[in-house]
Each structure stands twice: as structure tokens, then as C-alpha cells.
A and B are shown apart, each in its own frame.
Chain A
């Protein structure tokens, strides 16, 4: 099996330390799509409760759907990209479904309609993520995978930060017109899909005629190279508290975080934005597995700081910074690591498997953490999770040791 990095034909030669144009284009697509989706996301709580009139319980139900649907479809998206050998078109389908769901918000007034629309959006997200990450991996030099994913995630985060600004500026200009938010969101998403369709090259991973079968995919995912990293990712995911809970814990302990609750998320995003590329480069130089494990060290610090009985600006910012480090060291680094542990033909499925393992593990930990919180309060639960994480990190480091030596064909 041969896996020689080529230039992707867009001027990316050895020695020129730049990420490929394809990665930048995919970043632009993500940026536009995230502007679009965060526009809707930032006004949706207001819209659903104030305009549509959903009770908190109905709203909570929608929240739950949102999480579950995406994990389920991710594997299908990864496999579909590999199977047809055309991850781009699977990604187009995913981005397209999300774009269409925006415009469907217009007539969707009832609970069932809104549920359907949100489900379509999440289906789109689940579908597109793995094939898109496979495209990023496929168009990057192996030595620059961390940086490529870092650049992509940074652009993605810029979009996520811009979305709420655009939405609230719009609502200030046309008060109460949520329709306008959905229409503009749709227009931005359509431009994103157009960039993807028109400019992102259709990297074909599968050999002609030789379709990747389920058996092959299963063999690679369950195979020697990927098994231990998947275990490590799952183990770490199981001791990861959702950031929603972290923000609630911060809010619980002092008025400062409570007052600025909506900005906590922005703070984390800013830290992530600034650190995604540097930590991606660090991962390329010192090892992706190492940075991945170290990122969970930052998460450990984050728990400990959040569990302190004190509060205030400095501590809150420190928690957000650590959370940003954690995301920058894991979100793009995991697919960068995994994409080199499977063959190019099954790359989408491999990345999807890793991300699904993480999502499911985190879902489990969220349920557990919520239970503990109700029994023993946030501080006690955070300290327990800190302890579990401290125990899990060395185990994960052991599981991941030598992962990079296992890279396909290197």
C-alpha cells in the first residue's frame, strides 16, 4: 500500500510551508456555514420561547435531539464518502441539507415542524463532517496535518464568532423580524455551498471500480492501528464534562460569570481561535498524540480552577483559556492523528469512527455528570471528574504511545 503525499496541484510544494488551497477553501466554506448556523443558533432560544412560545421542557427536548442525531449520522457520512470515493459530494449533500433547513424555518411554526427542521440541520452536520475532514487530510502533506486542521478549525471559529454579531445587528435593524435572520442565514449558507461545489477539488480516494466495502472499513476501524487510539479517545471522552456544565458551574459560583453568561462561550471561542494553528503546528512537530494528551491536561486544570470556591474575572478567564487550549489541542488534532492511521480509502470512516466514539463517550459522561451534580453539587462532581481525568490521562498516553509510528505507509 502506497501513500505518497503529492502536492494537490494548487501550488503547495515541499519547502513551502503553507497549508493547501483546498484546506483554505474548506475553511472558507466552514466559515460561511458557521456564520449561517450560529446566526440561527444565537437567536433560536429567544425565537422558540418568545415567538413560538415553547416551554423550557419542550425546548430541552429539542436540545437533546440536536446532540443525538449528529453522532448517529456521522458514521454514515464517513462511510458514504469512502464508499463512493467522492467525499466532496457527500459533504455537499450535508452542507446543502443544513442550508435548506434555514429557509424551512420560515413557515415552520409548530413544534413538530421545528423539530424536523432542526433534525435536518443536524443530519447535514453529521453527514458532512467526516468526509470534509477526509478531504482536509487528503489535500494536506502528512507532516502538516495538524497545522491544516488548525487553520480549518480557526476559520470555522471565526464564522462561529461572527454569526451572533450578524444576527443581533440584523435584529437591531429590523426588530422582531426573525424571518430576516433565517433568510440572511440561508443566503450565507448558499454562498458557502457554492464555494464548495465550484472550487473544492473532488479528491477521489477509492481506486476506480474497487469500491470500499463495509468489511474492509470494519477491518480497518477495528484493526490494530486504530483500536488503541479509539480506546484512548473514548476513555478521555468519558471523563470530559460538557462545556455547558462548566459554564453553569462558573455561573453557579459567582455573579460575575452569571452576568456575562452569554459571553463565556465567546471567551472560549477566542482562546480556541488564537490557539488552533499554533497547537496544530506543535502537534506536527512534537507528535499529535502528545498534544492530544497534553490538551486533556489543560482540561484537568480547567476543572480544578472551576471547582475552586473563589470566583471573579481572573479565575473565570483562566478557566475559559484552559478550555480553549483543550479544544485547540484536541478538536483538529484527533482527525489529524486518525487520518494517518487508516488507509486513504477508508479515511472518512476512520475519522468518523473516532469522532463518534468521542461524541458518544461525552454524551455518557454528560448524563453521569448531571446525575452527580444533582446528588453532590458542582464542586464535588468537578473534583471527582478531575480525579478520573488525572487517572485517565496516563492510561490514554500509554494507549497512544507509538501511535504515530503506526502511520500508514510511513
Chain B
């Protein structure tokens, strides 16, 4: 049996013809892809130019002195991504910009936490604690893509969650969350994934367990999401005991109501992966209420007051990353309404 190793060119077209074909393909590729990118860039520039100028208010101080809403402004233009502040009395009125840009922001009366991205060849992320004048006072540990952040009501505890992923999406086990709790002004309490997780009285030690979305109750107690083996739980944790205990299955990204009696969560139910419904879980009797928002919400909600929750929703029809902050009653009734247009990551400060 003889092996024919020598190249058989099938009497195909000559080298010159093939080079010409390759040249044509390359040209088409460059013109096609380049044209597409140019068109997107052009559309972005003209969208920015055509965007109505954002009404801006006056000085920060007076707004900060009254009940207000802190958020990331997603109005197109030079201020895109900047933190903005509006009084709760006029949420859709003129906004005042703070001198920081954040992907996620949360705030109390005299503190703010800001997760930001420095885009470059390798995009890096940082988490900073800011004082009342929006000046950095502390760098917080953060690895990976920022996802959630919360301050405790008195501003003494900060939690940050990031998605940790390698460059390659081809390796299982490379993707997980990291949720770190830090005390303002000092000690890193730690990655709460290292805390002991109890589900139905039993300790869960699986490698795939993840925690995210912390909401603080007091100086020690907090609520968060735990996940393992494709299930998620609303968990109650203790910083001092370094434990978290599952309260309720299928609940993510909890947010504690101002009166401390209920937790707003997003839940999967029988929805397909990547879609969630908002629900409120009553800590007193374990009752759960689905909210009237039926669109999928992937956000850690914020309580406007004891009766209303806020959340960000990407605007479906927009070409670029624009979103609005919506409000919906927490009792399952009413209808969702836009509270602040062109906004994301709301934090209510009273």
C-alpha cells in the first residue's frame, strides 16, 4: 500500500488566482467588519450628540442635606457613568453630579462605596470607600467584575461581590463569585464564602458553593444568597460566628426592608435560566409575595420606603447601555413605574 504524501493540488486554480481570491476575501472582511464598527461608532456619537442635555441641579451639599437618591447616571453624554444625586422629593428633576464614576454605588448619609472599572487592554476594577465629600478614604479588596455592593445603615460595614473569572471560558471551575466584607476604616472581615454554610441543619462544604448579594441587618447580622449544586438560598449570616444559615430556597440578592421585617429577593421559580421575578419574603411568617413587575430583573433591589422597592432595568430598545430605575409596590399590588430615567444602581439615603 503506498502512501501519497506529496501534495495533490487537484489541478486547482493557480497560485495567482488563489492569492487574488484571498485578497478579495480579506478586503471584504476588512471593509465589512470595519464598516460595521464605524457605523456603530457613528451611531453612538450621534446618539450622544442628539441626547437631550441632562438637567443638572446646583450644589451637592443642599441635596445631600435632605433625603435623597444616589445612583449611577446612564444618560448619554459626557457625564455617562458618573454618580448623580437627586432629592427624593423630586426624583426625576435636575440631577447633581458627584465627582466620581462608578459601575455600582451605594451610600449612607456620610459614606459611599463605589465599584469602578478602569477600561484598558486588561480592564481592572476597584472598590473604594468614599467620605461625604466623595473623596476616597479606603481601598477595598476586589477581584474580578464588580457585581453588588452594600453599606450597612451606619456605614461601618461594606460588602462587595465580584464575579471572578479567568480569561478562558473553556475551563469549568474558573467562574465563581467573591463576596468580601470589610469594616470601614480597617479590618477585612473576610470572604463570606469561607463561612460555614448550613442548609436544613446540615453543613454544606461543596466546592461550587458561592455567596453573593449581602444586605446588612446590624453590626453582626446580614442576609445574602448562597448557591450550590444549581440551588440558591436566602441565608442569614453572623459575622462574629462566621456562619450562614439557609432560610428559604430559590432567592437571590436579598435586600432588607427599612423596618427589618421583610427581604426583597429575585427568584427563579420555573423561569428559564437568566430570568428572575421579584418577590418579597416576610421574615416573620415566611410568607412570600410575588411583585407585580413581570419583566426579568437582575438587580439587588433597594427599598425606597417600607412599601416600595427600586431596581434598575436595562432599556430594551436602546443601542447602548442605558437603563432606568423603576419603582414597584412591595405588597404585590400596583404597577411598576419609572422613578428616575437614565439611572442605575439606586441607593436611598434618609
- Give chain A's interface residues, CB within 8 Å of chain B: 1-10, 22, 38, 41-42, 44-46, 49-64, 66-67, 110-112, 138-139, 164-165, 168-177, 179-180, 183-184, 186-188, 190-191, 194-195, 198-199, 201-205, 207, 210, 242-245, 247-248, 251, 255, 258-259, 261-266, 344-345, 366, 370-371, 373-375
Indicate if B6 sits at the interface (CB-CB under 8 A): yes
Would you call A172 and B119 a contact (CB within 8 A)?
yes
Using Cβ atoms and an 8 Å threshold, which residues of chain A touch B276? 55
Contact A60 B172 (CB under 8 A): yes
Contact check, A195 vs B22: say whether CB atoms are below 8 A apart.
yes
A127 CB to nearest chain B CB (Å): 16
How far, in whole Å, are A181 and B286 apart by their CA atoms in the complex?
46
Contact (Cβ within 8 A) A186 B320 = no
- B residues 224-246 with Cβ under 8 Å of A? 227, 230, 232
Stretch at the interface among B90-98, B137-145, B324-332, B335-343: B137-145
A371 touches B5 (CB 8 A): no
Chain B residues lying within 8 Å of A49, measured Cβ to Cβ, are: 145, 147, 163
A210 to B314, CA, bound (A): 60
| Contact assessment for B274 and A191 in the assembled complex, using a CB-CB cutoff below 8 Å | no
Given contacts A194-B26, A245-B173, A375-B205, A207 and B230 within 8 Å (CB-CB): no
Interface 9-mer from B28-36, B106-114, B215-223, B302-310? B28-36
Interfacial residues of chain B within 1-59, with CB under 8 A of chain A in the complex: 1-10, 18, 21-22, 25-26, 29-30, 32-33, 36-37, 40-41, 44
B202 nearest CB across to chain A (Å) = 14
CB of B78 within 8 A of chain A?
Answer: no
Residue ID in chain B nearest A21 by CB atoms: B7
The reply to whether B1 and A168 contact each other, CB–CB distance below 8 Å, is no
For the complex formed, measure the closest distance between the CB of B193 and the CB atoms of chain A, giving whole angstroms.
11
In contact, B143 and A201 (Cβ under 8 angstroms): no
Give the distance to chain B from A97, nearest Cβ to Cβ, in Å.
16
Contacts of B176 in A (CB 8 A): 56
Residues of A within 8 A of B1 (CB): 1-2, 207, 210, 345
Asked if A258 and B143 sit within 8 Å, CB to CB, the answer is: yes
Contact partner of A173 (CB less than 8 A), chosen from B41, B170, B230, is B41
B 116-131 binary contact with A (CB < 8 Å = 1; else 0) = 0001111100000000
In the complex, the answer to whether B171 meets A242 with C-beta atoms within 8 Å is: yes
> Which residue in chain A gives the minimum CB-CB distance to B178?
A258
- Assess whether A344 is in contact with B5, with CB atoms less than 8 Å apart: yes
Contact assessment for A265 and B321 in the assembled complex, using a CB-CB cutoff below 8 Å: no
Instruction: Say how far B140's CB is from chain A's closest CB, in angstroms.
Output: 12
Give the dominant DSSP class at A's interface: helix
Chain B residue nearest in CB terms to A176: B321
In the complex, besides A63-B175, A187-B33, 20 extra interface pairs with C-beta distance below 8 angstroms are: A8-B6, A45-B163, A45-B169, A53-B274, A54-B274, A63-B173, A110-B274, A170-B37, A171-B119, A174-B37, A174-B40, A179-B36, A183-B33, A194-B26, A199-B18, A244-B166, A244-B174, A261-B143, A265-B166, A366-B173
Across-interface contacts of B208 in A (CB, < 8 A): 60, 370
Q: Does B247 touch A at the CB level, under 8 Å?
A: no
CA distance A244 to B166 in the complex (A): 7
- The answer on a CB contact under 8 Å between A64 and B207 is no
> Nearest Cβ in chain B — how far from A250, in angstroms?
11
A191 contacts B273, C-beta separation under 8 Å: no
Q: Which residue of B lies closest to A247 (CB)?
A: B166
Q: Closest CB of chain B to A198's CB: distance in Å? A: 4
> Per-residue CB proximity of B149-190 to A under 8 Å, as 1/0?
000000000000001111111111111110000000000000
Q: Which residues of A contact B22 (CB under 8 A)?
A: 191, 194-195, 198-199
Q: Find B5's partner among A6, A184, A207, A247 (CB 8 Å cutoff).
A: A6
From residue B196, how far is it (CB to closest CB) to chain A in Å? Answer: 13
Nearest neighbor of A257 in chain B, beta-carbon distance: B143
Q: A10-B7, A345-B3 are in contact. Are A41 and B119 (CB under 8 A)?
A: no
